[in-house]
Structure formats: structure tokens, C-alpha cells
Amino acid sequence: MAILKFRIYWEEDDAIYRDVLVKHTQNFQHLHQIILKAFEFDQLHAATFYRSNDVWKRGREISKEVYEKEYVVPPLLMIDTTIGSEIIDTNQHFIYVYDFAKNWTFLIELIQVIKNADADMILEYPLVSRVEGVGPMQYGSKGLLGKNFADIEEKYDLSETKDGFGEEGEDAHASDGDDDSDDTDDNDDSDDSEDNNDSSDNGGFLDDSFEAY
């Protein structure tokens, strides 16, 4: 038995990759699952591998299941195909596509074969051995909080808080307006007992204050 080390690159940025270790006797279903775990994706969507050459030309598919689409030749099935059976050279390549609607694509390269004598058999394979770069988020920015986002949103009542600020501001402004109105009425009542010059000065001060506000 041997341990195979694969480097899985995100197609859109080869600085973002994950190294995974699998037994050569494990099947492509195991490789499929560890890739999703490495990039923190769920396992809810369709997926397929392609045999590939050094220039990433797609060959026969090794698919999670047979999908309703056209195939040049029928696909192999992940669960029935061992990884070792598809290794034909020391620099073997595969292409992995997940979620056909989003078309997440990863490039897979065999970078090391570890003989049984040198392998740590205490470890549970497959496993992720190296993480480089911040991977893509499967569902956009909300994925930062994942499934806990709904709980946080409910706990802090985010949507109503936003509306509440607007209502509070409107009420405060309306209240200020009422106060100004009352002040104006009081000054109007005092006009009868004060001379015209004093009344004019007070009116001007209130006007200036309101405009400044």
C-alpha cells in the first residue's frame, strides 16, 4: 500500500491550494469528500472528476453518479474506482468539478508517493496536510458566518434594528419641530407686551437657530 499526496489548486488562483493525503486503495468518493472538506464546501451538489494530461485537457469522467447529460463514453463511478487504478505516471493530473450550476473547478496534481514503510499508519486517511491561501466562499460573503448567521440575525434582530434607527430619528426630529413651534407661539404671545424692536430681534434669533439646526 502507498499514500498518495495530491495538490488541489483552485482554478482561478493557483496560489490557493490544499494538499491532501489518501491511500492508493481508497476510491474517488474519498478524494471527492476530502477536497470539499479542505475548501470548506458542503456536499450537497453534483460532482465529477476528469482524467487529465499536463495541459489540463479533460478526458474520461469519474463521476459521483450518472447524470442526465451527454457523455462521449459512459463515466466511471467514484465509489467503484480506486485512486491507484487511475495513476498512470508519477505526475498524474485530474480535474475536479463541483456544483454544475456554479461550476467550481479544481486542478489536481500528484506531487508525492509515500511508500507504506514511510507512511504514518496511525493517521486516519484521507486527510488535509497543508492549506495555502484563503479559499473561495461557496455561498458568498454570508458564508463567513455559515449556518450560525440566522441565529445571530434572530438574536440581535438586525432587520428591525435598522428600521428602528430611522423611526427614532424621525420622532426626534418631529419632537424638535414641536418644541420650536411652542417656543414660537410663546414669543408671539409676548409680542403684545413688548415693543416692536424686541419682537423683531427675538424672531430673528429663532429663525437663525432653526436654520442652523
Residue 108's closest CA among 19, 33, 41?
19
The DSSP code for 123 is: S
Amino acid identity of residue 67, one-letter, is Y
User: Residue 116 — pLDDT band, cuts 50, 70, 90?
Assistant: confident
User: Residue 156 — pLDDT band, cuts 50, 70, 90?
Assistant: low
* pLDDT digits 0-9 by tens, 39-78: 999 999 999 999 999 999 999 999 999 999 999 999 999 9
| DSSP states along 34-102 | HHHHHTT--S-S-EEEEEE-TT--EEEEEESS--SS--SSPPEEGGG-BSGGG--STT-EEEEEE-TTT
- Quickly tell me which residue has 437663525 as its cell: 208
Residue 4 CA: distances (Å) to CA of 27, 37, 122, 182:
12, 17, 16, 83
Run of H or E residues at 144: none
The pLDDT score that the predictor gives to residue 188 is 52
The pLDDT score that the predictor gives to residue 143 is 40
Q: How many residues are given for the chain?
A: 213
Q: Say whether pLDDT at 166 is over 80.
A: no
Percent of the chain whose predicted confidence (pLDDT) is above 90: 60
The pLDDT score that the predictor gives to residue 189 is 52
Neighbours of 213 (CB within 10 A): 9
**Comparing 207 with 94, which gets the higher pLDDT?**
94
CA pair distance 173, 22, nearest whole angstrom: 66
The pLDDT score that the predictor gives to residue 118 is 81
Q: What is the mean pLDDT of residues 77-83?
A: 98
The pLDDT score that the predictor gives to residue 88 is 92
Q: Say whether pLDDT at 21 is over 80.
A: yes
Domain layout of the chain by residue ranges: 2-140, 157-212
Q: Say whether pLDDT at 164 is over 50.
A: no
Q: What is the CATH number of domain 2-140?
A: 3.10.290.30
Q: What is the mean pLDDT of residues 70-87?
A: 96
Q: What is the mean pLDDT of residues 141-151?
A: 48
The pLDDT score that the predictor gives to residue 160 is 47
Mean pLDDT rounded to a whole number for the chain? 79
- Quickly tell me which residue has 482554478 as its cell: 11
CA pair distance 117, 102, nearest whole angstrom: 41
The pLDDT score that the predictor gives to residue 204 is 39
Cβ contact 163:171 at 8 Å: no
- Cell numbers of 42, please? 458542503
Q: Say whether pLDDT at 103 is over 70.
A: yes
